[in-house]
Amino acid sequence: MNHGRCNLVNRTFKIEYHGTTYDGVPAVIQETFLGLNDHGIFDAWLHLAGQGWGQGFGGYALDQWDAGLNRRIGTGFGLDWVGEILRTLGVESWEKVKGQEVIALYSEGDSWGGQIKGFAHTLEDRAMIVREFIDFWKERKA
């Protein structure tokens, strides 16, 4: 499988980020989606591929229903979700996300078949952890 700039290795390693240890697996963002899904909800996906595997990351609603307007509207959470992906990858636009190399992060011992908990930059000390991101936004709304 061609992964772009480098030849990914098929290995899992331990990564500690903000006091939590994750299993890290090298991957490339093979495809992206940013738009309305088949239910009309605005969301974003990163489709990660490693050696012999592929898995999606994302699918969270980036908008919400507004009964007064009788339609879905964008949210600060949604805008910041997209921005956090860009900041973590160190790119300026969504168009540059595809092809980026990342480290997919899983709960310890759950890297094969488990849910991706976040992803990390391959060279910089930056990661996007779903639980941390959601908790940050819950605190802002409280």
Q: What is the mean pLDDT of residues 21-31?
A: 95
pLDDT above 50: residue 3: no
User: Which residue is associated with the tokens 């979700």?
Assistant: 81
So what's the pLDDT on residue 4?
45
pLDDT in tens, 43-69: 999 999 998 899 999 999 999 999 999
Least confident of 10-14, 52-56, 83-87, 104-108: 10-14
What pTM does this model have?
Answer: 0.88
Q: What is the mean pLDDT of residues 2-28?
A: 78
Least confident of 9-18, 19-28, 31-40, 111-120: 9-18
